[in-house]
Amino acid sequence: MLTIFATPKPFKGHDGIIQRNAIGSWMRLHPDCEVILFGDEAGAAEVAEELGIRHVPDVLRSEFGTKRLDYIFARAQEMARHDRLCYANCDMILLPSFCQAVDRVARWSPKFLMIGRRWDTPLMQTLDFEPIDWASKLREFAMRSGKQQLACAVDFFAFSRGSYADVPPFVVGRVYWDHWMVWKARSMKVPVVDVTADVLAVHQNHNFAYHPGGLAGIKADVESKRNRALAGGQLHLYTIDHATHRLIEGHITDRPGRWHVPLSYLLRIYSIQFWYWLLGATFRVRRALGLYRGAFEQMQKRVRSLIRE
């Protein structure tokens, strides 16, 4: 069957509600679905004991105290009961169609990475899993009140054991590592299947209060910059659009040009590099003409936004 592993924030306030919702949905995917929580955040041990799931309190951390993903992925693959694993962010509710998609992809290929776009959903309350139609009602609510996120947001990774034996020392709660995960599978010629068409993954909206700088701080702090360097830079930052295959109505189909990096992606990368070169090469001229602010500041902001996408 499937082992889902994750690392939570403290189980307090709204974060506590959405994390319980997520874990509750995972436990209901299949009677033999295994769930492992990594980290000693407040409430994690109590929730794990209450729900009867596995808990690994001791996790390797960076010098800033942030949990290391290389340790989490290595331990999960060592201790999992199943050969099919999934790392999911602890705010992601997965519906029964998720388990069906994993089974379909795993039967199709022994080595795989399964990803998909999420639906950002304003779910504020504790889910009641007792009604038999809880999943269909949540799906309807997400499609009515939520919004499908862009392909750059990758929040779950279902994969075959052994696919990620050498994860760099990325840290959780920062950017760039998720894009490396897609690139890594592609670099090993492992099929990457986009299941967006068949799987509605519900991301529960939340704030970013865990970082003093909020979302902007998360994307720009020293640990995110280190993640980017560890990933190998822009050329290794793939998105869901870099999937090699798609799952549509239970059938796996090739994505056109699946083993090639999309031309639009390369053009975007090289245009960014060109603008950086242009800004540096024309600095003295712009300074002499008084053009080193204003319009060029707007240009720089645009470049930064393209890099973050």
CA dihedral 8, 11, 17, 20 (to 10 degrees): 60
For the stretch 216-250, pLDDT in tens is 778 889 999 999 999 999 999 999 999 999 999 99
Which of 234, 254, 274 corresponds to the end of one domain? 254
Separate counts of helices (H) and strands (E) for the chain? 11, 13
Same domain, 28 and 74: yes
Same domain, 61 and 188: yes
**Is residue 7 located within the same domain as residue 26?**
yes
**What pLDDT, on the 0 to 100 scale, is given for residue 269?**
46
pLDDT at position 207? 79
The pLDDT of residue 272 is 45
Q: Looking at residue 149, which CATH number applies to its domain?
A: 3.90.550.10
**Of 229, 254, 279, which residue is a domain's last?**
254
Asked whether residue 17 falls in the same domain as residue 143, the answer is yes
* Same domain, yes or no: 33 and 144: yes
**Which SS3 state, helix, strand or coil, does residue 94 take?**
coil
Whether residue 238 is found in the same domain as residue 273: no
Looking at residue 288, its pLDDT comes to 63
**Nearest of 186, 155, 149, 191 to residue 309 by alpha carbon:** 149
181 and 289 within one domain: no
Whether residues 38 and 71 share a domain: the answer is: yes
Looking at residue 260, its pLDDT comes to 54
Q: Which residues of 26-61 are buried (b: 16+ CB within 10 A; e: fewer)?
A: bbbbbeebbbbbbbebebbeebbeeeebbbbeebee
Residues 39, 143 within the same domain: yes
289 and 232 within one domain: no
- Strand-strand pairing, 245-248 and 34-38: unpaired
Given 254, 275, 299, the domain boundary residue is 254
Same domain, 233 and 278: no
- pLDDT tens-place values along the chain, 309 residues long: 999 999 999 999 999 999 999 999 999 999 999 999 999 999 999 999 999 999 999 999 999 999 999 999 999 999 999 999 999 999 999 999 999 999 999 999 999 999 999 999 999 999 999 999 999 999 999 999 999 999 999 999 999 999 999 999 999 999 999 999 999 999 999 999 999 999 999 999 987 777 777 777 788 899 999 999 999 999 999 999 999 999 999 999 998 765 555 555 445 544 544 554 455 566 566 566 665 445 555 555 555 555 444
Domain range enclosing 51 = 3-254
Sheet strands (E) in 161-216: 192-194, 201-204
Query: Does 212 share its domain with 290?
Result: no
What are the tokens at 307? 């890099």
As for how many domains the chain has, the answer is 2
